[in-house]
Structure 1
Amino acid sequence: MIKNVAIVAGGDTSEWEVSLRSAEGIKNFLSGTPYELYEVIVRGSHWYCEKDGKQYDVDKNDFSILMGKNKIKFDFAYIIIHGHPGEDGCLQGYLEMMNIPYSTCDVLTSSLTYNKYACKEFLKSKEICLAKSVLISGEDTGTERIKREVGFPCFVKPNVGGSSFGVTKVKEEKDLQEAIQTAKKECEEVLVEEYIAGTEISCGFCRIGEKIDVFPILEIVSETEFFDYEAKYNGKSQEIIPARISNNLTERVKELTKNVALWMNLKYIARVDYIIKGEDIYLLEVNTTPGMTAASIIPKQIKAFGKEVKEYLVAIIEDASKRKNA
């Protein structure tokens, strides 16, 4: 039976546009597979499907659409929302209640990794290198704590979210409060992290069952102050595969990535970002819903691994469907 696959995109954050681009990428990668593809756009309480130039409202009672007299129930959800509600566990919770298989980590893991501070607190128990940080919320300006515990320069960022929206590199104390207010436009909680000078790398992988394929490590060389939106999406960076680090560091990063996947119950396609300083590996972030355009990091890593993105997407759909129906 042909599966009806919903590619779920959009969301309620500044990453809306990035998500739509990733959805287009997923559609292209799945072209020629034995699935009927539907793009489902989520924006607040309005969920709709765009198919053949027409728009159909999604019935959230059973995750379906009505096309004329034909009721189409979706058999699988490929989640490509960057941010709320697709990256933080909310959409995963809905799909669990509907008993519909999906393409990401479960509710708990998605929620934990989306909250940068909570993720770091969890990983502290694993005795790995992490940037010193301070969490700011409410009316607290945090200036004295930041000076004492983090120092300058530092990064000020929303505690949730991605694509570098609301992120500022602060070099002096006088610019701190403006950066905090910028971050608060994206999220009420603000994370302030120490700046670590080093080589920025990203290690993507795909975990299906107990098998983890760790892809070649990618090095990021940004032409801007840091790896911001311009660098990520408008060509203001070089992405070098394999990363120009020693064989020893390469193996250590790959082993650490595998361990992070196991510790946090990560599955399917995900990515862990690091800074290399000397021989130390600092973990920056865990991304459970990475970008999937042709220009995104994961597709480049998969190509360098000698595989096709399509192979992994089909394997994910089939594995998640099998597990849900077991």
Structure 2
Amino acid sequence: MKKNIAIIMGGYSSEFRISLMSGNVVFQNLDKEKFNAYKIHILEDKWVLVDENEEEHLINRHDFTVTLGAETLTFDCVFNAIHGTPGEDGIMQAYFHLMGIPQTSCDYYQAALTFNKRDLLSVLKPYGIKSATSYYINKGDKIITEDIIKKVGLPCFVKANKAGSSFGITKVYKKEEMPGAIETAFEEDDEILIESFLDGIEVSVGVIQYQGKTKVLPITEIVSENDFFDYSAKYKGESQEITPARISKIQEEKVVQAASLAYDILNMRGYSRSEFIFVGDEPYMLEMNTTPGLTNESILPQQAAAAGISLSQLFESAIWQALEEKK
């Protein structure tokens, strides 16, 4: 019997349009002989199933069902394609845990931890996973620019602590640019992470569970045409994403070890895509994404293709893994 799969997409953050793109790619690539796939838009003002005629049917949030005519539709599994809140920060994971419905991404604790860049890097540091020198600011804190620069130097990156797709990030070269960069970051989150600039090769490492085993995908080198890997570089083609990365064997071994170690330490499951910058041969972690982009142009699908894994195989494996764990 075919399984009913709810593909959740959208979300409450600046990334919701990108998430809709990812969710539609999942919908298009799921094997219709094995799955009944449904597009579920999770938006701030409504949760709805969007049918083939683009008509909306309200989701019952008490049990995550939907009424279609005389039928009440239930779901065997949820495919999580939401970037940002509430799909990447643990909220939806906790909800489905309470509902007893298996879902494809990591558990709620791991999602909340990895979505918080400051907490993630702090947890991994004792295990030898390196990160840039950093400075923290919360909304309402007194901001002393001289103290920030003394700690992290210039240039530096001012980031929203809990945001993705490079929203709320500014590269700061001069002291005078700091207030504007902080204001930009606060538009996305009430916590800020300011990091020293690391001058080196940037790579992205996908670690997934595939056919029941943890698998590190081919590494992608990121060469931005802009000052850094910003929104335009990620989504408007203003970058080169080279898979496999042009790095040495020792660099490859070290970054694979770091990405795998982080995945294991955190007791992860599902997809992860971690970003690193090399300082010499040493990889420094920037962040980990647990619901990475899934469009045809996104990095994780590119890495899967380089490993000989089609989109259909990639998505199907995640669903069967979630269903098996439910047993």
TM-score when normalising by structure 2 = 0.96
Give, in angstroms, the shift of residue 124 of structure 1. Answer: 1.3
**Is 1:26–2:55 an aligned residue pair?**
no
Matched letter for residue 50 of structure 2: E
Matched letter for residue 104 of structure 1: S
Secondary structure of 2:305's aligned partner: helix
Match of 1:307 among 295, 306, 309: 309
- CA distance in 1: counterparts of 2:75 and 2:173, whole angstroms: 49
Unaligned runs of 5+ residues in structure 1 are none
- CA distance in 2: counterparts of 1:30 and 1:252, whole angstroms: 35
- CA distance in 1: counterparts of 2:174 and 2:238, whole angstroms: 25
Give, in angstroms, the shift of residue 210 of structure 1. Answer: 6.7
CA distances 1:87-145 after superposition (whole Å, capped 9, x unpaired)? 00000010001000001110100000000101111111112221011110122224233
- CA distance in 2: counterparts of 1:309 and 1:39, whole angstroms: 17
- CA distance in 2: counterparts of 1:184 and 1:242, whole angstroms: 36
Matched letter for residue 241 of structure 1: T
Say whether the 8 Å CA contact 1:207–1:266 is kept in structure 2. Answer: no
**Is 1:182–2:184 an aligned residue pair?**
yes
Match in the other structure for 1:4? 4
Runs of 4+ that moved beyond 4 A: none
- CA distance in 1: counterparts of 2:118 and 2:2, whole angstroms: 42
Match in the other structure for 1:15? 15
Match in the other structure for 1:109? 110
Give, in angstroms, the shift of residue 208 of structure 1. Answer: 5.1
Matched letter for residue 157 of structure 2: F
Q: Where does 1:78-93 land on structure 2 (aligned, <5 Å)? A: 78-93=79-94
- CA distance in 1: counterparts of 2:27 and 2:239, whole angstroms: 26
TM-score when normalising by structure 1 = 0.97
- CA distance in 2: counterparts of 1:317 and 1:145, whole angstroms: 48
Give me the CA root mean square deviation.
Answer: 1.3
Match in the other structure for 2:232? 230
- CA distance in 2: counterparts of 1:152 and 1:290, whole angstroms: 30
- CA distance in 1: counterparts of 2:211 and 2:266, whole angstroms: 14
Match in the other structure for 1:51? 51
Identical aligned residues as a percent: 39
- Closer, same or farther in 2 for the Cα pair 1:142/1:313, shift >3 Å? farther
**Is 1:167–2:160 an aligned residue pair?**
no
- CA distance in 1: counterparts of 2:49 and 2:32, whole angstroms: 20
Match in the other structure for 1:245? 247
Secondary structure of 1:77's aligned partner: strand
Matched letter for residue 233 of structure 1: Y
Give, in angstroms, the shift of residue 45 of structure 1. Answer: 4.8
CA distances 1:254-312 after superposition (whole Å, capped 9, x unpaired)? 12211111001121211111001211111111110100000000111011111212223
Secondary structure of 1:220's aligned partner: strand
- CA distance in 2: counterparts of 1:208 and 1:23, whole angstroms: 19
Say whether the 8 Å CA contact 1:208–1:267 is kept in structure 2. Answer: no
- CA distance in 2: counterparts of 1:277 and 1:242, whole angstroms: 19
CA distances 1:197-252 after superposition (whole Å, capped 9, x unpaired)? 11010011212587211111000000011101100000000011111101121122
Match in the other structure for 2:100? 99
